[in-house]
Amino acid sequence: MDYDHLPTYDRLQKTIGVLLRNGVNVTLQETREFALEELKKLIPPGARLMTGASVTLEQIGFIPFLMGGQHPWKYLKAEILEEEDPEQRASLRRQAAMADFYVGSVQGIAETGEILIASATGSQLPAYAYSSPNVIWVAGSQKIVPDLDAAIRRVREYVFPREDIHMKQLYGPGSSSLIGKILIFERESPLVQRKIHLILINEVLGF
């Protein structure tokens, strides 16, 4: 299967319709530049913000924007990176799972409505599943696949090998990636009273 191919308009609209019925707000943007501006608008000034590791957020310019410090939010990851004590850093990561806004990406979006997030440590998964009141995912539309089985194959056959290469480029030949946990997000219950937003970009972005 070609996991790097943009979907047709009909497949795109079908997937968006299913996600909307499953409690996921979806915004479709044609370019990464428009997506970045949309993302900034979704987060109110003063919000406690955390991000999951994401090549997509790097590619649209959101991570460089955050690290530049010229933004109106309290960026929790910056505090974590500045903390030198390992135990305190781990404590800050756990606290960050309850950030006002948790922003990241996903590795598979099924036309049947399931969204897959793979993680080495699982640190972002509590926020995505429950603990953060506002979750925003940003993803290239090439991550849309026919069904849940195809989404799982995408993670194992396509995402993982590329993430492993990416980790070695960042941290050296001795480093490696792993799939520690996979979250299958099927729908958001209205009883939880959270806001889940997916910004779909009609470009090939991320893995």
Reported pTM = 0.95
Decide: 4 and 177 in contact? Cβ < 8 Å.
no
Decide: 106 and 140 in contact? Cβ < 8 Å.
no
CATH number where 159 lies:
3.40.50.10420
Number of independent structural domains in the chain: 1
Taking 70 as the threshold, does the pLDDT of residue 104 lie above it? Answer: yes
Q: Is residue 84 part of a domain?
A: yes
Residue 31 sits at φ, ψ, to 5 deg, of: -135, 160
Contacts (Cβ under 8 Å, ≥6 apart) of 40: 65
Contacts (Cβ under 8 Å, ≥6 apart) of 43: 49, 73, 101, 103, 136
**Domain interval for residue 140:** 9-201
Decide: 130 and 192 in contact? Cβ < 8 Å.
yes
Q: What is the pLDDT of residue 172?
A: 77
Share of the chain above pLDDT 90, in %: 90
Confidence band for 169, pLDDT divided at 50, 70 and 90: confident
Lowest mean pLDDT among 1-10, 48-57, 107-116, 171-180: 171-180
Give me the mean pLDDT over the 116-139 stretch: 97
Taking 70 as the threshold, does the pLDDT of residue 54 lie above it? Answer: yes
Q: Is residue 206 part of a domain?
A: no
Confidence band for 176, pLDDT divided at 50, 70 and 90: low
Q: What is the pLDDT of residue 171?
A: 76
